[in-house]
Chain A
């Protein structure tokens, strides 16, 4: 235990999982499973916040099934929706998100390490294109359900490029130019 504390200087980390307004049962089932929670524990995470959207039943079933077996000190907090996820995102050290552009953008703006889990049922969807394009630029890491645990264990999600700050002047220039101010 002592050795572990030394290798992870921050031993009180928080993970945030968000599925947006959709249903994404597999991701809820995966993160509330013993192998995943054990990995969280060994990486120094102490808190897991889950925004589970429409996967309400899956969430409660999963929580119920691990309650008897859980032998680590991870605190799990869950809710379906909130007006703003900002607070939870700010507090967390790693975010696992669905491929929705709104969630992705919010995480990137906060410069948080981000793993986007692609829903295989939505392959070919434009949101998947966005996630893959952003991965090619190094802003985030994409994953499937099948390799999420492996990716998380490997720590490979940390070396990402930070997303450029938004430049408000570009749109202002477009507007002013179009209205004949220049």
Chain B
């Protein structure tokens, strides 16, 4: 009998979690009508929007900064937090240059935060769970303690833990952190691994080649953005 009730409770919990999870998935079809209830309730935020930007090695950072070039940092998207993977000094440097060109001051208008890499190239699979955990904890600190309004990412591996953690406040109805994903210009016919993993969970999934929208109906194509 005891086992039966245990099972019942477990099933009820599981169903609640699944239903709730389903509720917080992005509603792409109602995006244009904007009458989806959960959408409105959690998104009456007025600007400025606290923005989190995930940078990644080399090409990803270059594309990201190109995307942000014309974005209004002074009245709409501030303060900004750049998430950079530990060893990637070049990306931090590029972000600093980019911001100072716009006349912004570090630690006032924007900050740069480092997270450890989820997995080094060639790292053994046995130690990988630990390093993944380490980077998840770093993301909890960055995302949950600060609750940004918006996360922008474009495909480096580090955007996966960031997006996962961003779902927690959404799940509990605390805050709907908007997730915007832009697939790299380099992806013509196939998505990157990050893209494949995140496409169903982000609020906007933008690609830069039209062919990908045929293959992945959730993706939007509006032209080359970088």
Contact = CB atoms under 8 A, between A and B. Distances in A.
Contacts of A169: 70
A180 B76 CA distance: 12
Interface string A43-79: 0000000000000000000000000000000000000
B224 interface: yes
Interface in A136-181: 164, 166-172, 174-176, 178-181
A105 B188 contact: no
The secondary-structure label for the interface of chain B is: loop
Nearest to A20: B58
B134 to A, nearest CB: 26
A21 interface: yes
Interface stretch (A31-39, A87-95, A126-134): A126-134
A168 B69 contact: yes
B180 A174 contact: yes
B131 to A, nearest CB: 23
Contact of B188 (A130, A170, A181): A130
Contacts of B149: 179
Nearest to A166: B226
Contacts of A133: 188, 209
Contact of B185 (A83, A105, A164): A105
Contacts of B189: 126, 129
A175 B58 contact: no
B178 interface: yes
Interface in A94-122: 100-102, 105
Contacts of A168: 69-71
A179 B178 contact: yes
Contact of A180 (B43, B62, B66, B71): B43
Contacts of A166: 66, 224-226
B72 A170 contact: no
B58 A102 contact: yes
B186 A178 contact: no
Given A101-B59, A102-B58, A166-B225, A126 B187 contact: yes
Nearest to B51: A175
Nearest to B187: A126
Contacts of A178: 150, 178, 180, 203-204
Contacts of B59: 100-102
Contact of A176 (B63, B76, B152, B225): B76
A126 to B, nearest CB: 6
Nearest to A21: B58
B82 to A, nearest CB: 16
A170 B180 CA distance: 14
A134 B152 CA distance: 26
Given A101-B59, A172-B71, A175-B77, A181 B47 contact: yes
Interface of A: 21, 83, 100-102, 105, 126-127, 129-130, 133, 164, 166-172, 174-176, 178-181
18 contacts: A100-B59, A101-B186, A102-B62, A105-B63, A105-B185, A129-B189, A166-B225, A169-B70, A171-B67, A171-B182, A174-B204, A175-B77, A178-B204, A179-B43, A179-B47, A179-B149, A180-B44, A180-B45
Interface of B: 34, 43-45, 47, 49, 58-59, 62-63, 66-72, 76-77, 90, 93, 149-150, 152, 178, 180, 182, 184-190, 203-204, 206, 209, 222-226
Given A105-B63, A180-B44, 18 more contacts: A83-B93, A102-B58, A126-B186, A129-B190, A133-B209, A166-B225, A166-B226, A168-B69, A168-B71, A169-B70, A170-B222, A171-B71, A171-B182, A171-B225, A174-B180, A175-B152, A179-B45, A180-B34
